[in-house]
Amino acid sequence: MIGYTLRRLGYGAVVMVLVTAFTFVIMRLIPGDAVALQLQETGATADEVAAMRAEFGLDVPVWAQLGQWVADAVRGDFGTSFYTGRPVVEMFLDRVPVTVGFGLLAMVVGAVLGIGLGVVAAVTRGSVTDSAVRVFAVTFLSVPHFVVALLLLTAFALWFAWSPPIVYASPTEDLGSWLQQVAIPVFALGTGGMAGMARMARSSMLESLGSDYIRTVRAKGVHERTVILKHALRNSTIAVLTLLGLELATILGGTVILEQMFAIPGTGQLIYQAVLDRDYPVVVACTIFYSALFVLTIIVIDLLYALVDPRIRTGRALS
């Protein structure tokens, strides 16, 4: 198990290195940089531009900048913002609670609705309801989160003359205002997870309902509702729980556009603005944090699988 764990961690480290290098290169390929954006309307001289580029460390090749960033990151220094002068870690941590609260709520909504729809589809297999749930799931898997949010925003504005508040208030300050502001983006963000979990829950429930165990329970005269909710659902949620881990990482990564659209001051909005400003330290550090979350989630899931089934870590074929 130790060897398997080290291999998974090694793969994760390789992924993080590739993500860091890719982010550095892509950001430098975007026309313009932080110096040009800050000085474009000031009429700065060439010497002033060069001095600021040197101050930001942009006067050396990209590979040298990458090496210096990695060396600093190993010591816990992820750089400072070109615009605010604040440490990137401090800026990120200030906004993490906003995004985490938003993302967790979206995951809960998606899980509850997804599992519920999956169970209904499995119980009514072959019916119009089952077909409707499957079409619904495929539709929301295919439509981006921000498109769903725009459609909902337009519908509420036209039909009910209502729109969410534009000034953010934390749940501790004004819970009602916060719920109004995050209601549409939470549902929009949760639809992807809801659709995926509905499909997974349906498949798992159908497998459970067709097992010998369930047939035995039914033969004993147990009420059908008890069979479904207590026995079949409990056994079918294992696969769904696996999907939840990946869904959390995906949801947190999907907040970038929605936070900007609904004026939610989370890490997604921070990354969006940093890309527009070419604030390289913020973009790179936030990308690394998100990537690390996703990689660690996958590693944890792999390790849990390996604990359950030793054949996974030994590489033996499943029989």
Other Cβ atoms less than 10 A from the Cβ of 94: the count is 14
Per-residue pLDDT reduced to its tens digit, 144-196: 888 888 899 899 989 988 888 888 888 888 888 888 888 898 888 888 778 87
Q: Could you tell me if residue 91 is inside a domain?
A: no
Q: Could you tell me if residue 88 is inside a domain?
A: no
252, 100 Cβ separation under 8 angstroms: yes
Q: Could you tell me if residue 152 is inside a domain?
A: yes
Q: Could you tell me if residue 87 is inside a domain?
A: no
Which residues are CB-contacts of 233 (< 8 A; sequence separation ≥ 6)? Answer: 119, 205, 208
Question: Which structure tokens are listed for 120?
Answer: 């209904």
Same domain, yes or no: 104 and 240: yes
Same domain, yes or no: 61 and 122: no
List the one residue out of 93, 99, 91 whose CA is nearest residue 185.
99
80 pairs with which residues across the strands?
87
Q: Domain holding 155: CATH number?
A: 1.10.3720.10
Same domain, yes or no: 230 and 162: yes
Same domain, yes or no: 202 and 256: yes
Per-residue pLDDT reduced to its tens digit, 277-317: 788 888 888 888 888 888 887 787 777 666 655 555 555 54
Question: Which structure tokens are listed for 36?
Answer: 């040009």
Q: Could you tell me if residue 89 is inside a domain?
A: no
Alpha-carbon distance of 33 to 209, in angstroms, equals 59
Same domain, yes or no: 130 and 272: yes
What is the percent of the chain where pLDDT is above 90?
1
246, 150 Cβ separation under 8 angstroms: no
Question: Which structure tokens are listed for 84?
Answer: 């605010």
Structural domain count of the chain: 2
Q: Could you tell me if residue 177 is inside a domain?
A: yes
Question: Burial, 285: exposed, middle or buried (Cβ in 10 Å; 0-12, 13-18, 19+)?
Answer: buried
Q: Could you tell me if residue 245 is inside a domain?
A: yes
pLDDT of 273 higher than 80:
yes
- pTM (predicted TM-score): 0.73
Rounded average pLDDT over 204-216: 78
Q: What is the largest CA-CA distance in the chain?
A: 87
Rounded average pLDDT over 63-85: 82
Same domain, yes or no: 291 and 154: no
- Predicted pLDDT of residue 317: 43
Same domain, yes or no: 178 and 255: yes
Which residues are CB-contacts of 34 (< 8 A; sequence separation ≥ 6)? Answer: 56, 58, 82, 83, 277, 278, 279, 280
Same domain, yes or no: 211 and 170: yes
| Owning domain of residue 64 | 1-82+278-319
Same domain, yes or no: 127 and 140: yes
Alpha-carbon distance of 113 to 198, in angstroms, equals 8
End-to-end CA distance of the chain: 21
Q: Could you tell me if residue 59 is inside a domain?
A: yes
- DSSP characters for 259-274? HHHTT--SHHHHHHHH
- DSSP characters for 135-196? HHHHHHHHS-HHHHHHHHHHHHHHHH-----SS---TTT-HHHHHHHHHHHHHHHHHHHHHH
Same domain, yes or no: 72 and 197: no
Same domain, yes or no: 272 and 284: no
Same domain, yes or no: 54 and 202: no
pLDDT of 242 higher than 70:
no
Alpha-carbon distance of 266 to 289, in angstroms, equals 14
